[in-house]
Copies of this chain bind each other. A is one copy, B any other.
């Protein structure tokens, strides 16, 4: 195998075939790389589909890399919709000059994450972008899963007084990636939270008071709160003291002027539950390795209103919708 990706690895010919057979196929459980389309079998249930492009830069960061992150991102979108993820497709856009060793590592990591999440990569595509028209490796994954219809019921089921929970500290992924870029001359001990959230979502699905779940990725926890407020037409109150944020992440945020509530997580879940089942949900999450630091962080208001953060000293401030802030290639 060559050491660098060249344009010929994308031309449909011998080198592309070699790339697929030597790098992709072995790491992905040897899907049929000869077919135009893959046949899949699905169990009973409502079929759920999601897609996501991944562009995180650098490709490796503390706690993960773009390969595993891509799987987690798509699997998590299915998981919060209540689905069991079963199949993935993978389209790679690879920049000319990318190291084959790096690509091999990322694809291996992608394959491992898929295996751990119980999903199979069944179809793929690779394109090579000329130098300067790409950014290393971009992966786009599509996920297919199956769920019990109406479980969870979704945004329209949210009622005044419902509680918001988050499964763990927020903002770690955003800060870990920013530190890995070394743009700021800062070092910190922050690892991305990137992980598969299936154990967390599965733990809540049996609860009849479960309304809605979402993973707070781009735009972070505050953006999920805004999406809920927008969809329900109800205000939201968050208790700052209850929102878990790691000290190391908070410290970097303070230096750089970032608000961790707006930073991407890649292994957290926000859930909305009827008030009488919020404690049961919290207990279920705290019993899991990925949910030890889960917390009840706020509630849905009785009337239309903004997303408000109550501060520990008794004040409150409105959390605006994310506006100009641009953190490209964070996921």
**Is A81 part of the contact surface with B, judged by Cβ < 8 Å?**
yes
Looking at the complex, which one of B7, B83, B149 makes contact with A37 (CB distance below 8 Å)? B83
Chain A residues within 8 Å of chain B by Cβ, number = 82
**Is A329 part of the contact surface with B, judged by Cβ < 8 Å?**
yes
Assembly CA distance A148 to B130 (angstroms): 40
A126 to chain B, nearest CB (A): 8
**Is A328 part of the contact surface with B, judged by Cβ < 8 Å?**
yes
Q: List residues of A (91-137) whose CB comes within 8 Å of B's CBs.
A: 91-93, 96, 122-130, 132-135
Chain B neighbourhood of A259, CB < 8 A = none
Chain B neighbourhood of A24, CB < 8 A = none
On whether the beta carbons of B38 and A48 are closer than 8 Å, the reply is yes
**Is A227 part of the contact surface with B, judged by Cβ < 8 Å?**
yes
On whether the beta carbons of B89 and A37 are closer than 8 Å, the reply is no
Query: Which of A91, A231, A324 gathers the greatest number of chain B CB atoms within 10 Å?
Result: A91
Query: Can you report 13 A-B residue pairs in the complex whose CB atoms are below 8 A from each other?
Result: A6-B326, A7-B327, A12-B220, A16-B219, A34-B231, A37-B145, A39-B149, A40-B47, A50-B89, A51-B125, A55-B93, A91-B142, A140-B140
